[in-house]
Amino acid sequence: MKRTPFHDRERETDEIMKILDAEPSLITFIYGPINSGKTTMISHLIEELSDEYVVFYINLRTKFLLSYDEFIESLFEMEMETDGASRKRNETLAELVSSVTKVAGIPINKEFLDYVFKDNKPKNAFSYIIQLFEEVRASGKHPVLILDELQKIGDVKVNGFLIYELFNFFIDLTKEKHLAHIFVATSDSLFLEQIYSEAMLSGRCRYLLVDDFDYETTIAFLESYGFSDDEKKLAWHHCGGKPICLVELANAEEKDEKMREFLGVRTGQIEGLIEDAREFGYKISYGEEEIVLNEEHIRRSLDKFKNKDHLKASELSKPVKLGLIKANILFLDPVKQILKPQSQLELLAIREVISDA
Ligand SMILES: Nc1ncnc2c1ncn2[C@@H]1O[C@H](COP(=O)(O)OP(=O)(O)O)[C@@H](O)[C@H]1O
Ligand SMILES: [Mg+2]
C-alpha cells in the first residue's frame, strides 16, 4: 500500500504558524467535520516544525477513558525501563526534556509519576507539567501541547468534571503564564457547542476550522492522481472535498463502482436509522434526559436538505439536531451557526432517502 502524500493545507498551516510565532495567550480549538484532515494536518505540521518548538502530542481517539487515572496514563509517556548500564535513566526534568522525540506524550519517570498520582488530584499533574514546560523554556525552546479528540474525557469526573479543571489549567498556561501553546482538536460538534457557550472560556480561546478541501484544492489533488476531466467531475459530485473519500477513490481501479458502493453504504445507514425510529423510536440521551425521535421527526428534518446543502442551526429543533449530529449525519459549526451533512456523500445519501419516500 503506497503512502498518501500530504496535500496542501496552506491557509490553515499559515494560521497556526502565526499563532506559534506570537506569545501564547489563547487556547486554539481546531474543529471540523469527521475525516476532514485535522489529525493529518497536525501530524504534518509537527514534522515540519523547527526544533525551536518542543511538541507534546496526545491523541485520545483510541484511548479507553472512563476515569481520572486513565486520563493521566494517556497523557504521560512513561520512560522505558532499560536494564542496567545500556542506558542512563533520565533523573531530572532537564534530562526528561532532552529525551523528547517528535509526536510523543509528556515524558515522565517513576518518581514523578508517583507524585502525579498521589491523592488523585489534577493539581499534581498540572504542577508537574508546568515545571516540565518551564524547563523547556529554560532550554530556550517553546513548549506546544496538542490534545486530539479531547471530547473523550467529557464525562470523566474528579469532584466536578475534569474538563473544567483542564480548561482552567489551559487558561493558566496561556492567558496567565504565557508559558505554552495549547491546541485542542475535535470532530465532535456537540462538545464544541458546549465549549462555545462556556462562560469560563469566553475571550480565552480562538477557533480554527479545518474543513473538507475546497473545490480548487480538490481538483488539484485529483490532478496529482491523474484523474480525467470526467472522473474529476464525478469525484467532486460524490466526495466533495472529503480527503479520505478522495484518497480511496484515487486508489480504486473501478472509480464508478467505488462511488456507487460508497453511496450505497451511507444510504443504507440512514435508512437503517429511519427504520429503527419507525419500529422502536430512535433514542438519544442528553444529559439526564432521554429523547425519542420517530420517523416523521427525522424525515421532516432531512427534507430540508432537498434543495439546500446547509441550514441555519436554528432551522432544526434541538432534539432532531442532537439526534442527527449524534448519528454522525450532520455537523454543526457552532462558530458560523450552520448545520450541514458530515460530507457530500452524506448529502447525496440524504437526498436518495428522501426521494424514495
Ligand atoms: N492534507 C491531506 N493530504 C492527503 N490526505 C489527507 C489529507 N488530510 C486528510 N487526508 C486523508 O484523510 C484521512 C482522514 O483524515 P484525518 O486527518 O484522520 O481526519 P480528522 O482527524 O479530521 O478526522 C487520512 O487518513 C488521510 O488518508
Ligand atoms: Mg482526527
Query: Taking the domains of the chain in order of start, what are their residue ranges?
Result: 10-209, 260-355
Confidence of residue 95 (pLDDT cuts 50, 70, 90): confident
CB 46 within 8 A of CB 102: yes
- Say how many Å lie between the CA of residue 185 and the centre of ligand 2: 8
Q: Which of 141-145, 290-294, 305-309 has the lowest mean pLDDT?
A: 290-294
**Res. 103: pLDDT tops 70:** no
| Nine cell digits for residue 108 | 515522565
Tell me if 10-209 shares its fold with 260-355.
no
Backbone angles phi and psi of 90, in degrees to 5: -85, 105
- Say how many Å lie between the CA of residue 247 and the centre of ligand 2: 16
Q: How far is CA 88 from CA 8, 134, 135, in A?
A: 42, 23, 20
Ligand number, closest to the Cα atom of 43: 1
- Say how many Å lie between the CA of residue 186 and the centre of ligand 2: 7
Return the pLDDT at 127: 92
**Res. 197: pLDDT tops 60:** yes
Return the pLDDT at 146: 96
- Say how many Å lie between the CA of residue 251 and the centre of ligand 1: 15
Q: What is the mean pLDDT of residues 122-147?
A: 93
Q: What is the mean pLDDT of residues 285-306?
A: 90
**Res. 79: pLDDT tops 90:** no
- pLDDT tens-digit profile of 45-64? 999 999 999 999 999 988 88
- Say how many Å lie between the CA of residue 340 and the centre of ligand 2: 19
Q: Which of 94-103, 248-257, 307-316 has the lowest mean pLDDT?
A: 94-103
Return the pLDDT at 85: 46
Return the pLDDT at 104: 74
Q: How far is CA 350 from CA 176, 298, 330, in A?
A: 47, 11, 10
How many CB atoms are located within 10 Å of the residue 285 CB? 10
**Res. 278: pLDDT tops 80:** yes
Structural fold of domain 260-355: Arc Repressor Mutant, subunit A (1.10.10)
> What letter does residue 129 receive in the DSSP assignment?
H
Q: Choose between 149 and 111: higher pLDDT.
A: 149
Work out the percent of the chain whose per-residue pLDDT is above 90.
66
- Ligand 1 site-directed mutation target among 9, 147, 244, most atoms within 8 Å of CB: 244
Assign domain 10-209 to its CATH architecture.
Answer: 3-Layer(aba) Sandwich (3.40)
Q: How far is CA 256 from CA 170, 269, 270, in A?
A: 48, 20, 22
List ligand 1's pocket residues with C-beta within 6 A: 4, 6-7, 9, 32, 34-40, 187, 243-244, 247
Model pTM score: 0.92
- The C-alpha atoms of residue 235 and residue 258 are separated, in whole angstroms, by 10
Q: Choose between 64 and 126: higher pLDDT.
A: 126
Ligand number, closest to the Cα atom of 32: 1
Which residue's CA is the nearest one to ligand 1's atom 17?
37
Residue 210 CA, closest ligand 1 atom number: 22
Average confidence score pLDDT of the chain: 89
Confidence of residue 80 (pLDDT cuts 50, 70, 90): low
Q: Which of 21-25, 102-106, 267-271, 319-323 has the lowest mean pLDDT?
A: 102-106
Q: What is the mean pLDDT of residues 275-298?
A: 90
**Res. 318: pLDDT tops 80:** yes
